[in-house]
Structure 1
């Protein structure tokens, strides 16, 4: 190949990468600042070894992780990138990373899909066994978002407000 052609090819490839960068992390701007519950709150008040979730339901004391937790963000990114949580498609993610990250899309449907994906990641948080993680009552803001599509879901009346 002629050196000028090679240079043109490399330049066009670099330009295309700049125009369409590969997304590798979630856009935190589309994630609620709080899930409505603070991890560790109300330890042992309802059930020994548990903490308090929405509507005074017992939850594991590590639940929920902070919305900006590197562990949560990493697991959410992996699930959105892979399209499912485990190596088999038992827990399929209903939205792609690109669509999840599109902050210009504030539609009810997209917000519901975002909430569903975040809840699925929380409910399977240890990524070793399906359903082992944080129950939905540990993230009532996501429950409101999943039901209504409103990303500003106020869950303060549900109990442990975080």
Structure 2
């Protein structure tokens, strides 16, 4: 076993955490918030539901956190496969490589990123089409899909304090 300096070990560890793991999604191109906090507004609009954008009822597990390992894993799988299910259903509009390219901040690419994230959320269990989180559970992605801006203002659509 070769001795390794502590500083080299820490440097290697730091670089591994600041970049996407090989084959995974680059979290730096994902908004830090989707504008809704899962579990907020329980039973206020509809019994058994929580509150989404524009006071629409959503499942209380929606949306996943942008840095949720489960969300990132499912997004990576879908982007790698190019489809959520089969080739006849729910094709993703962007490849994993293009999604991960943080140097591409064009509105067109950001719109494609938002569309892919929304598609994964809407089909979150990845086994039954349409079983997941509706678009109103992630208003920031809706704004991003329309404008191409990451972190667009959707504060008036969220459920903070509701």
TM-score (norm 2): 0.84
The answer (yes or no) to whether the contact 1:31–1:67 under 8 Å persists in 2 is yes
TM-score (norm 1): 0.84
Partner of 1:98: 97
Moved more, 86-95 or 145-154: 86-95
Q: Which runs of no fewer than 5 residues in structure 2 stay unpaired? A: 1-20
Task: Tell me how far apart the structure 2 counterparts of residues 73 and 130 of structure 1 sit (CA, whole Å).
Answer: 19
Alignment of 1:84 onto 2:104:
no
The answer (yes or no) to whether the contact 1:23–1:98 under 8 Å persists in 2 is no
Partner of 1:115: 114
Task: Tell me how far apart the structure 1 counterparts of residues 100 and 90 of structure 2 sit (CA, whole Å).
Answer: 20
Partner of 1:12: none
Q: Secondary structure at the match of 1:55?
A: helix
Q: Secondary structure at the match of 1:156?
A: coil
Alignment of 1:146 onto 2:145:
yes
- Measured against aligned partners, the alpha-carbon deviations of 1:93-129 in whole angstroms (never above 9, x if no partner) come to 0000000000000000000000000000000001111
Aligned residues: 141
Runs in 1 of length 4+ with deviation above 4 angstroms? Answer: none
CA deviation after TM superposition for structure 1 residue 161, in Å: 3.8
- Measured against aligned partners, the alpha-carbon deviations of 1:124-158 in whole angstroms (never above 9, x if no partner) come to 00111111100000000000000000112111001
Q: Which runs of no fewer than 5 residues in structure 1 stay unpaired? A: 1-21
Task: Tell me how far apart the structure 1 counterparts of residues 158 and 124 of structure 2 sit (CA, whole Å).
Answer: 22
Task: Tell me how far apart the structure 2 counterparts of residues 106 and 87 of structure 1 sit (CA, whole Å).
Answer: 29
Q: Which has the larger radius of gyration?
A: 1
Partner of 2:9: none
RMSD across aligned C-alpha pairs, in angstroms? Answer: 1.4
CA deviation after TM superposition for structure 1 residue 159, in Å: 3.4
Partner of 1:33: 32
The answer (yes or no) to whether the contact 2:139–2:158 under 8 Å persists in 1 is no
Task: Tell me how far apart the structure 1 counterparts of residues 158 and 93 of structure 2 sit (CA, whole Å).
Answer: 29
CA deviation after TM superposition for structure 1 residue 23, in Å: 4.5
